[in-house]
Structure 1
Amino acid sequence: MQSLVCWLLLLFSCTLPPVKGYANGKVASACSSMLPGHGHSPQVDPIHGINVDKSIFKPGDRIKVTLSGTRFDGFLVQARNVDNIEGPAIGSFSLIDEKISQLLTCNGVQNSAVSHTSKDRKLLVEFYWNAPTASPNHVQFLATVVEKYKIYWVKIPGPVISLSSPPPFVYTPPNRKMAAAHQTASLMKRFSSEGCGSSKFCIRNPTSCDPEQNPECHFLSFKKEDRSVLVEMSGHGHGYIAFALSHDQWMGNDDSYLCVKEDERVLINPAYLTGRNYPEIASPDDLRNVSWGLNDGTIQCSFRRDIQIATSKERFDLSGNYYIFLANGDVKNGQILRHHLQPLITNKMYNITGLPEDVGGSRSPFLIKLHGAIMFIAWMTAVSIGVIVARFFKPVWPSSTLCGEKVWFQIHRCLMITTVVLTSVAFVLPFIYRGYFSKRAGYHPHLGVIVMSLTVLQPVMAIFRPPPQSTRRWIFNWTHWATGSTARIIAVIAIFLGMNLPALDLPDPWDTYTMVGFVLWHVFVDLLLEAHGFYLLRKEAHLMDEDRVQILKSSSEKESHTFKKIVLTVYICGNLAFLTTFLAAISQL
C-alpha cells in the first residue's frame, strides 16, 4: 500500500506490547498491560504515589483516590484483586474533575479505569473508586504515569485496601516483569549484497548498490532457512529505518517492522499499520536472533521470524506475494517523525520466500510521476511552442490554410486545446492518489489550482471573443495575453516547487539547473525573434524608392520567413531535448 502518502505520513510510536499511545487518554487497548505505546523501557523507581482516604471498606463504599508527584502528562489508574493482580480491573470510578480525567471501559466493565484527557501537565489528580457488590477481600490500586514520551512508569503499586474483617493478608510485591527490548548483540560489520538474486531476496536503493561499500545504500534482504526467514536491513539515517509488507501500494493494513535508534542503541519491533493511523506496535516475541549495529550514520538491524505465525493475524504469511515498502526518517524525543523521502515501493508483488531476486523500486508513486510528466509536456512544450507560433509566425504562411483557417492559428489552437486537456488530466491525478488536498506540499497545489483556473478561462474567453473588426477586440487581445502570460509564469514557478516535493523529488541540484536552462533557452529564442523583427522594421524604414521597396521587401520577407522557420525548428528540437531529459529523469525515479 502506498505508504505514498505515507508511509509517507509515518509517525510511529514504538513499544513492545501490542498497544498504542494516545495523548487524549483513549487507552482502553492498554487495559491489561497498562503499558503505553512509546517504544521505550519503563523507569524502575517510581516518583509518583497513590493515596486513599480509607484502608477498610465494605461493598458500595466510595473511596477517594489521589495520584500525585512531579509534573506528568498522562496516567492510567485501575483497582485489581490482590490475589489476581494480573487479572481484570474491578469496581468502578467516578470523576471529580472531568477536564483532566475520564472514565474507561476495561474488559467489558464500564468505568473500571480512569485516565487523562490531554497532555496538559498535572501535579495531582483525584477521583473516587466505588467498591463493587461482589468485592474481593483485598484490592490494590495500580497506576501508570507518563512524565514525558520517553519517561514513564508502569503499574506503580498503590495502597492495598481490605474488606471489613477480611482474612489475614500477607503483602507480596506485584510481579514487575515487563516486556522489554531484546538484549541484542551489536553488528560490527556492514551487511553485504553478496548472494542477492542467488541465495537471498534483496531490495536495494540505489539499484545494485552494495551496503558494504556505500553507506548511502538502503538495503533489505530475506534469506529463507527451513521454516523461518532471516531479515537484514540497513540504511543511512539519524532516526529509524523500516520496511512493510502490503497487499497493495497504498498505506494501511500493512505488516511492518521498525528499527528505531535511541541514544546509542536500536529498538527493533514489529508493528501493524491500519490506514494512515499510528502503527499498532506488537510484541517482539515473534522475532528471534535480534541484533543491531550503528556504523557512521548507518542503522543496521537483523532478526529471524517464522514464515507462518498462526497466533497472529497481523504477521503476514511470508510465503505469499506482497508489495514491499522501505522507509527511513528522523526521531525526535523518542517519537518517529514523518520521513523526508517517499518510501521505496516495489513496482509489483513479490514472494520473498520464493526464487531469490534482486530488485529495486520507486520512491515516487506512479500517479504522481504521471502528473509531473503530463505537466512538463503541457507547459514546457505545448504552451511554449503555441505561444511562439502565435506571436511571431502570423505572416509566415500568408496564403496557406489548414482546415479552413490560417496555419499559425490552427497550430496555436491545437496546442492550446492540448494544453487544456493535459492540464485537466494531470490536475486530478494527485487528488486520486491522495484522496484530499495535500497540506504538506507547500504552495505547489495552491499554484496548481490557479493555473488550472486560468487554463480553463482562456478557451472560455476565446469562445466569446468579438470579431477581428470589432472596436472591442482589443479588450479580448489584452485580456487573452495577460491571462496566458500569468498562467505561464505561475506554471513555471509551480514546476520549480513541484520538482523538489517528496512525492517526486527529482535529483538535486540537477533539476533546478536544467529547468533554469530551459527558461533561458525559451527567453533567448523569444528575444532573438524580437530582435529579428526590430531589425526588419529598421531596414524597411531606410527604403525610399517605391519599386525598390517592393522588390527588396519581397526578398526580405522570404529571408525573414526562412530565418524564422529555421529558428522554430531549432527551438522545437531544443525544447524536446529538455522535455526528454525531464521525462527520462521521472522514469528513473
Structure 2
Amino acid sequence: MVQRKGSSSWEVAVGNATFVQDYSTFWVGVLSDKVEVAKRSVDNPAQSTGISTTRAPKTSTVPPYVPEVEVKAAATDDPIYSGCGSTKSCFGAPDQCLDTKSCTAVTTVQVEGDRYTFEVKGRGAGYAAVALSEDSKMTHYEVIYSGRGSHIVCPRKAPTHANMELNIKNMSCLHSGDDSVMECARDSAQNRPANVYLSYNTGKTNARSSIQRGISFINSSYVNGEVYCRFTRDVVTNISGKIYDLEKNKYYLLLAVGSSLKAAGVAFHDVIYEASSDGYILSEIVTFASVSKLLLRLHGAFMIAAWIGAASVGILLARYFKQTWVGKPFCGKDQWFAWHRILMLLVWSLTITAFVLIFVELKSWSSEDNPHAILGTVTTLLAFFQPIGALFRPHPGSRRRPIFNWLHWLLGNMAHILAIVTIFFAIELSKAQLPEWTTWILVVYVAFHVAMQFVLS
C-alpha cells in the first residue's frame, strides 16, 4: 500500500500476483493497475458508504479444491459363505473356491444341539446335491441287472454295511443305500423355486427314497441360474435299510450339480462333481478339502504330451524329412528315423502310463455319457501294437515292404486322429473341470498342424 503525497485520506493499492499455466510456463510479480482507496473516517459523515474507489471493489473467495470421489456400492457377499470355518462347516467346488467365494457348487452344515441345518447351492443347475458317504467315491460297486436266463456277475465281497439281496427269479443283485443323497431340485409342482428330497446312490444309479422321512424343508430360491435350498436333517435316519448317524459316524461329502432332472430324480452331474478328501463327524466345524486330483491331472498331461507333442512331431519327421535329414547318422541310423523312433517310443510310454493311471484313479469304467473312455481305449490299443508291428518290418527290398509301409502309416494316423478327437471329448467331462475356451486352443493346434502339412508338402 502506498500513500499518496499531500493527502492522508487517500491510498493507492497495487496487486502483486503470480500466475501458473503449467509446470514450465508461469509468471511471477505481475502488478495490477493502481487503485485509489479512500480511508473511512468516522469524522466525515459524507462518507456514507464507508469506501470510495475509482473502481468498484471486487471480493472473491476461492473455495478449496475437493476432488470428486466415485463412491461404489460395497459388494455384497453371498451369505452362504458367512461363518464358514467358524460357526459352520463348508465344502465347495471347484477346489479352493471358498477362498474367493466363487464356487460353482457349495454346501454348508451348521449344528445347534441336535439340529443339523444344511445349505446347498449350485450354479447353472437343474439341481444341486450333497451326499453322505463312507468313502470319497460316489459308488462302492456296480449294480448289474438282467432278465430271466441272462448272465449276471455280482461282487465277490460287499461292504459289511450293505444290504445285499440275491433275487434268483430276476437274477439281479441289489445293494441298498451306498450313499445318502440330499437333493435341491427345481420343482414347480410344489409351488416352490426348488424342493428338497432324500435319495440314495446304488452302484451307478440314483433313486429317490419312497418315504421322505428325516428331512425338513426351510426355504429355497432360484435366481440367475443358481438353485439354493436350506433344510434340516434328523440326527439318525434310515435310508433304504442303512442307518446314518450324524452324531457318531464320520462321513465324506460328495457335492454334485447337474443341468437336468429325470422323471423322479436327478440326472447325471454334468456341471461339476467334487468329493471331500477326508471324512468328519458333522458336528465338528471344519472346511472340507477336495480329494486329490493328481492322478487325473497326470493322465491328461501325459496324453497331451504324447499326442499333441511327441506324436505330431514324429509323424512330420517321418513324412517330410525322410529324404533330407540323412547327412549325419545318429546311433547308426538316419537322423529322421532315429528321432522318429525316440518320439514314438515316448508316445507309447506316456500313453500306456496315462491309461493305467486313470483306472487306478477311477477303479472302474467311466460312468459319464461321453465317448471319451471308449475312444481312449481304442487309441491306446492302436498305440500299443504300433511299435510291436514295427519290430517285424520287412527288409527295404522285400516285396512285402510296401504292405507294411501302408499298414504302419494307416494305423499310426488312425491312432493320432482318434487321440485328438478323444482329447476334444475330454473337455466335456465333469471331472476334467476345463473351461470352454480350451476347445479353441485345440482348434488352433489342429489348424496349425494341418497348415504345416501344406507348407512342408
TM range (shorter): 0.5 to 0.7
Question: Match for 2:92 among 201, 204, 215?
Answer: 204
CA distance in structure 2 between the aligned counterparts of 1:310 and 1:452, rounded to whole angstroms = 45
Give the structure 1 partner of residue 251 of structure 2. 322
CA distance in structure 2 between the aligned counterparts of 1:439 and 1:238, rounded to whole angstroms = 17
Shift in CA distance, 487/297, structure 1 to aligned 2, threshold 3 Å: closer
- 1:470 maps onto 2:358 in alignment: no
Give the structure 2 partner of residue 375 of structure 1. 303
Task: Return 5+ residue gaps in structure 2 as ranges.
Answer: 1-76, 140-177
- 1:448 maps onto 2:376 in alignment: yes
CA distance in structure 1 between the aligned counterparts of 2:449 and 2:207, rounded to whole angstroms = 49
- Following superposition of structure 1 onto structure 2, how do residues 152-551 of structure 1 map, counting pairs within 5 Å? 191-206=79-94, 217-236=104-123, 239-252=126-139, 253-263=178-188, 264-265=191-192, 266-279=194-207, 281=209, 283-287=211-215, 290-305=218-233, 307=235, 313-318=242-247, 320-329=249-258, 330-357=260-287, 359=289, 369-393=297-321, 395-396=324-325, 398-402=327-331, 404-427=332-355, 433=362, 435-436=364-365, 440-442=369-371, 444-504=372-432, 506-508=434-436, 510-530=437-457
The secondary structure found in structure 2 opposite 1:501 is coil
Q: For this pair of structures, how many residues does the alignment match?
A: 336
CA distance in structure 2 between the aligned counterparts of 1:439 and 1:218, rounded to whole angstroms = 19
The secondary structure found in structure 2 opposite 1:500 is coil
The secondary structure found in structure 2 opposite 1:410 is helix
Contact 1:191 1:211 in 2 (8 A): no
CA distance in structure 1 between the aligned counterparts of 2:290 and 2:380, rounded to whole angstroms = 35
Shift in CA distance, 309/332, structure 1 to aligned 2, threshold 3 Å: closer
State the structure with more CA Rg.
Answer: 2
Task: Return 5+ residue gaps in structure 1 as ranges.
Answer: 1-188, 531-589
Letter matched to residue 259 of structure 1: C
CA distance in structure 2 between the aligned counterparts of 1:345 and 1:528, rounded to whole angstroms = 48
CA distance in structure 2 between the aligned counterparts of 1:345 and 1:419, rounded to whole angstroms = 32
Q: 1:221 Cα deviation (Å)?
A: 0.9
Give the structure 2 partner of residue 25 of structure 1. none
The secondary structure found in structure 2 opposite 1:241 is strand
Q: 1:316 Cα deviation (Å)?
A: 3.7
Contact 1:211 1:218 in 2 (8 A): no
Q: 1:485 Cα deviation (Å)?
A: 2.1
Residue by residue, what CA displacement relative to the aligned partner does 1:123-166 show, whole Å, maximum 9, x if unpaired? Answer: xxxxxxxxxxxxxxxxxxxxxxxxxxxxxxxxxxxxxxxxxxxx
Q: 1:359 Cα deviation (Å)?
A: 4.3
Shift in CA distance, 496/269, structure 1 to aligned 2, threshold 3 Å: closer
* Percentage of matched positions with identical amino acids: 32
CA distance in structure 1 between the aligned counterparts of 2:216 and 2:381, rounded to whole angstroms = 57
Contact 2:220 2:229 in 1 (8 A): yes
Q: 1:196 Cα deviation (Å)?
A: 1.7
Q: 1:383 Cα deviation (Å)?
A: 0.8
CA distance in structure 2 between the aligned counterparts of 1:381 and 1:238, rounded to whole angstroms = 36
CA distance in structure 2 between the aligned counterparts of 1:492 and 1:291, rounded to whole angstroms = 46
How large is the RMSD of aligned CA atoms in angstroms?
3.7
Contact 1:451 1:491 in 2 (8 A): yes
Letter matched to residue 435 of structure 1: S
CA distance in structure 1 between the aligned counterparts of 2:450 and 2:111, rounded to whole angstroms = 59
Contact 1:220 1:234 in 2 (8 A): yes
Of the structure 1 ranges 510-519 and 464-473, higher mean CA displacement relative to structure 2 is found in 464-473
The secondary structure found in structure 2 opposite 1:401 is coil
CA distance in structure 2 between the aligned counterparts of 1:518 and 1:347, rounded to whole angstroms = 35
Shift in CA distance, 282/368, structure 1 to aligned 2, threshold 3 Å: farther
Residue by residue, what CA displacement relative to the aligned partner does 1:507-561 show, whole Å, maximum 9, x if unpaired? Answer: 11x111100112233334444444xxxxxxxxxxxxxxxxxxxxxxxxxxxxxxx
Normalised by the length of structure 2, the TM-score is 0.62
Q: 1:344 Cα deviation (Å)?
A: 2.2
Contact 2:246 2:281 in 1 (8 A): no
CA distance in structure 2 between the aligned counterparts of 1:277 and 1:488, rounded to whole angstroms = 34
CA distance in structure 1 between the aligned counterparts of 2:400 and 2:100, rounded to whole angstroms = 72
Letter matched to residue 232 of structure 1: E
